[in-house]
A and B are shown apart, each in its own frame.
Chain A
Amino acid sequence: MTENSERRVVSVIVINEASVLSRITDLFSGRGYNITSLTVAPIPESKYSRLTIVTSGSVRVIEQITKQLHKLIPVLRVYEHADMVEKEVAMIKFPASENLSDIQALCEAYNGKIVNAGENTIIAMVADEPKRINNFLKAIKRYNPKEIVRSGAVALER
Chain B
Amino acid sequence: MQISGAQMVIEAFIAEGVDTVFGYPGGAIMNVYDEIYKQDKFQHILNRHEQASVHAAEGYAKASGKVGVAMITSGPGFTNAVTGLADAYMDSIPLVVVSGQVPMSLIGTDAFQEIDAVGISRSCTKHNYLVTDAKDLPRILKEAFYIARTGRPGPVHVDIPKDVTAQIEEFDYDIELDLETYKPHTKGNPRQIKKAMEAIAKAKRPLFYLGGGIINANAAYEVREFVHKSGIPAVETFMARGVLSHDDELLVGMLGMHGSYASNMAMSETDLVIGLGVRFDDRVTGKLSEFAKNAEVIHVDIDPASISKLVNANYPIVGDVKNVVVDMLAQIEKIDSDNYESWRETINNFDELHPLTFHEDSERLKPQWVIQRVGELLGDDANISTDVGQHQMWSGQFYPFTRPRQFVSSSGLGTMGFGFPAAIGVKAACPEKTSINFTGDGSILMNVQELMTAVEKKIPVINIILNNNFLGMVRQWQTLFYDKRHSETDLSVQPDFVKLSEAFGGIGYRVHTKEEFDAALKDAVEKNVVAFIEVIVHRMENVMPMVPAGGSLFNMMLLEKKESK
Contacts and interface: CB of A to CB of B under 8 A. Distances in A.
A22 B305 contact: no
Interface residues of A, number: 18
Contacts of B119: 22
Contacts of A68: 305
A26 B304 contact: no
Interface string B267-308: 000000000000000000000000000000000000111001
Nearest to A67: B305
Interface stretch (A72-80, A100-108, A113-121): A72-80
Given A18-B130, A30-B123, A67 B304 contact: yes
A70 B122 contact: no
Interface in B484-498: none
B251 interface: no
Nearest to A65: B305
A73 B123 contact: no
Interface in A47-74: 63-64, 67-68, 70-71, 73-74
Interface of A is mostly: helix
A74 B181 contact: yes
Of the listed residues B123, B126, B179, B181, the one surrounded by the most CB atoms of chain A closer than 10 A to its CB is B181
A127 B130 CA distance: 39
A15 interface: yes
A132 interface: no
Contacts of A146: none
B228 to A, nearest CB: 34
B442 to A, nearest CB: 29
A64 B181 contact: no
A73 B122 contact: no
Interface string A125-139: 000000000000000
A70 B304 contact: yes
Contact of A73 (B181, B305, B308): B181
Interface in B297-351: 303-305, 308-309
A79 to B, nearest CB: 15
A64 B310 CA distance: 10
A99 interface: no
Contacts of A73: 126-127, 147, 179, 181-182
Contacts of B526: none
B374 interface: no
Interface of A: 14-15, 18-19, 22-23, 26, 30, 63-64, 67-68, 70-71, 73-76
Interface of B: 118-119, 122-123, 126-127, 130, 132, 147, 179-182, 303-305, 308-309
Given A19-B122, A63-B308, 18 more contacts: A15-B180, A18-B130, A18-B132, A19-B118, A22-B119, A22-B122, A23-B122, A26-B123, A30-B123, A67-B304, A67-B309, A70-B304, A71-B304, A71-B305, A73-B127, A73-B147, A73-B179, A73-B182
Top-9 shortest CB links A-B: A67-B305, A76-B181, A73-B127, A73-B182, A30-B123, A67-B304, A71-B305, A68-B305, A26-B122
11 contacts: A15-B180, A18-B132, A19-B130, A22-B119, A22-B122, A70-B305, A73-B179, A73-B181, A74-B181, A76-B180, A76-B181
